[in-house]
């Protein structure tokens, strides 16, 4: 992706939106019988729209750009034709899948292994946060499918003796928009220079950004472009609502809702790593089965948190946006946006954790006095006004004393917790910047270019009478 790619010689073809109501069977897509049976064994009764469109083109040898939202079946759309091709021409280092996050890499590996269990497919996951030496031993075995995050893959390509991808037949870039938004562009360029030019490339993304367009020009040959959704939208079976509350009572209202809707599984989204830990600690003090998930946790802790939630050993997963896209977390009944997302499009991905695969679901977004503009942008994006989630203030405030005591204890424990100290230290300079901005705004002072300062920090402030937590997206 050099600068010359900004002005390609030929215009990028328009993406054609496909009809989502097409009926098809696994056999009609051209898959081998053993893979059709594997789909049914996984309770995949029929292919999804992106699978219906992508699989036949991939089997025909075409490069693919698939624009589809989270939960649309993208993994099956590239895994099945790759396994089908592997049946016809089995050899090692057959396919490389690049993903933006470690969790998504492990999830993709699980699906490859489940679909390919009867044909003996071997997968290896190469991600950061794990031992390079252990990964070298796995790479020596030359698996069929390699699933990796770009940074760690480049580390091995540059430093692991004997590791190369010269026989690669497929390159998949899943969640390509996120890969590029996470500043992996340099690593992706290095990978594209190393792998064979004669390959098939499958690029999947939730959005067609300028960076994704640039990437497809650099890496794909005459691709078939598929788009399943033409605009940002939420599914019909998702019941969305909002709750307008004072910022200082967020925890009290959260506990009230968890009590009121007990028996459901919850994903609660926070704006910072610190707030996921804080909220989980408060809820556990109050008897809830809650577990945090954030990007600052080591890989073993992140996988353990996901496993506990997916196995229903924990009913509440409290996460940053690390889990808002890509991860297959079944049976989420309710999504709560405890901290409203800074970027409106992240709202779509968050609430997309529920009401999946035809099931119904619910989302509740907390809106404080500091979030009104952000919330209005969300309503503008989804094209609808959301109803108010009804609560009785007297019923809520009965809980205030118990919740306040839990907040007090957790605040003391976090001061003594080294992991929490480190998280806070990493963020202190941004907190100071945001507090300075709020002081400026509250005192009605005029400061030149203050908007540039706000944009540079890429943060917003959630003000609480006792705590300052910033939200960094």
Taking only the tens place, the pLDDT of each residue in 184-215 is 999 999 999 999 999 999 999 877 888 888 88
Instruction: Give the mean pLDDT of 217-233.
Output: 78
Pair (264, 335) in one structural domain: yes
At 100, the pLDDT band (50, 70, 90 cuts) reads very high
Instruction: Give the mean pLDDT of 362-380.
Output: 95
Given a cut of 80, is residue 80 above it in pLDDT? Answer: yes
Residue at 455 is within a domain: no
Residue at 434 is within a domain: no
Pair (301, 213) in one structural domain: no
Direct distance between the N- and C-terminal alpha carbons of the chain, in angstroms, rounded to an integer: 26
What's 411's domain CATH number? 3.40.50.300
Helix axes 450-457, 418-442, angle to 10 degrees: 160
Residue at 458 is within a domain: no
Given a cut of 70, is residue 461 above it in pLDDT? Answer: no
Pair (92, 119) in one structural domain: yes
Instruction: Give the mean pLDDT of 134-147.
Output: 94
- Which residue, of 186, 204, 227, is where some domain finishes? 227
Residue at 433 is within a domain: no
Pair (293, 353) in one structural domain: yes
Pair (206, 71) in one structural domain: yes
At 210 the pLDDT is 85
At 330, the pLDDT band (50, 70, 90 cuts) reads confident
At 344 the pLDDT is 86
At 215 the pLDDT is 87
Pair (270, 202) in one structural domain: no
Give residue 317's domain range: 238-428
Residue at 438 is within a domain: no
Instruction: Give the mean pLDDT of 438-464.
Output: 39
Pair (223, 242) in one structural domain: no
- Which residue, of 174, 199, 227, is where some domain finishes? 227
Pair (107, 139) in one structural domain: yes
Pair (189, 275) in one structural domain: no
205: buried, middle or exposed (CB in 10 Å: 19+, 13-18, 0-12)?
buried
Among the ranges given (32-46, 51-65, 226-240), the one the predictor scored with the smallest mean pLDDT: 226-240
pLDDT in tens, 442-453: 444 333 333 333
Contacts of 133 (CB under 8 A, 6+ apart): none
pLDDT in tens, 234-276: 667 789 999 999 999 999 999 999 999 999 999 999 999 999 9
pLDDT in tens, 286-329: 999 999 998 888 878 888 998 999 999 999 999 998 766 667 67
Instruction: Give the mean pLDDT of 43-51.
Output: 91
Given a cut of 60, is residue 131 above it in pLDDT? Answer: yes
- Which residue, of 227, 259, 277, is where some domain finishes? 227
**Would you put residue 116 in left (φ > 0), alpha (ψ -120 to 50) or beta?**
alpha
Residue at 58 is within a domain: yes
Pair (183, 329) in one structural domain: no
Given a cut of 60, is residue 424 above it in pLDDT? Answer: no
Pair (281, 408) in one structural domain: yes
Given a cut of 90, is residue 79 above it in pLDDT? Answer: yes
Rounded to the nearest integer, the mean pLDDT of the chain is 83
Pair (163, 277) in one structural domain: no
pTM, 2 dp: 0.64
Residue at 453 is within a domain: no
Give the number of domains in the chain: 2
Residue at 331 is within a domain: yes
């Amino acid at each position: 992706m050099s600068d010359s790619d900004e002005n390609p010689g030929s215009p990028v073809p328009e993406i054609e939106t496909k009809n989502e109501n097409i009926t098809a069977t696994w056999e009609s897509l051209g898959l081998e019988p053993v893979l059709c049976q594997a789909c049914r064994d996984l309770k995949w009764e029929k292919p999804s729209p992106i699978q219906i469109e992508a699989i036949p083109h991939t089997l025909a040898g075409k490069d693919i750009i698939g624009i589809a939202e989270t939960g649309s079946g993208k993994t099956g759309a590239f895994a099945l034709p790759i396994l089908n091709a592997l049946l016809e021409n089995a050899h090692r280092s057959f396919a490389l899948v690049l993903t933006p996050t470690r969790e998504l890499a492990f999830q993709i590996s699980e699906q490859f292994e489940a679909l390919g269990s009867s044909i003996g497919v071997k997968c290896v996951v190469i991600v950061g946060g794990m031992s390079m030496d252990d990964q070298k031993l796995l790479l020596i075995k030359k698996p069929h499918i390699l699933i990796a995050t770009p940074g760690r893959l480049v580390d091995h390509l540059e430093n692991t003796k004997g590791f190369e991808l010269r026989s690669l037949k497929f390159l998949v870039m899943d969640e390509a928009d996120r890969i590029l938004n996470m500043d992996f562009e340099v690593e992706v360029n290095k990978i594209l220079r190393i792998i064979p030019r004669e390959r098939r490339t499958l690029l999947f993304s939730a959005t067609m950004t300028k960076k994704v367009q640039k990437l497809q020009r650099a890496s794909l040959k005459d691709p078939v472009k598929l788009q399943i959704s033409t605009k940002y939208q939420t599914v019909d079976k998702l019941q969305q609502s909002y709750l307008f509350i004072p910022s200082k009572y967020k925890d009290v209202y959260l506990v009230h809702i968890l009590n009121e809707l007990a028996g459901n599984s919850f994903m609660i989204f926070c704006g910072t790593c610190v707030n996921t830990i804080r909220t989980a600690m408060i809820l556990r003090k109050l008897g809830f089965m809650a577990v945090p998930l954030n990007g600052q946790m080591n890989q073993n802790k992140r996988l353990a948190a996901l496993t506990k939630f997916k196995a229903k050993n924990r009913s509440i997963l409290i996460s940053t946006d690390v889990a808002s896209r890509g991860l297959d977390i079944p049976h989420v009944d309710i999504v709560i946006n405890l901290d409203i997302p800074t970027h409106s499009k992240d709202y779509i991905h968050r609430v997309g954790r529920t009401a999946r695969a035809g099931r119904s679901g619910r989302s509740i977004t907390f809106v404080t006095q500091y979030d009104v503009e952000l919330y209005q942008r969300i309503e503008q994006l989804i094209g609808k006004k959301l109803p108010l989630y009804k609560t009785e203030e007297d019923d809520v405030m009965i809980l205030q004393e118990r919740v306040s005591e839990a907040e007090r204890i957790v605040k003391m424990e976090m001061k003594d917790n080294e992991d929490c100290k480190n998280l806070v230290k990493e963020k202190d300079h941004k907190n100071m910047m945001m507090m300075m901005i709020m002081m400026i705004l509250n005192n009605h002072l005029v400061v030149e270019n203050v908007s540039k300062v706000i944009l540079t920090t890429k943060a917003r402030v959630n003000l609480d009478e006792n705590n300052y937590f910033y939200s960094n997206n």
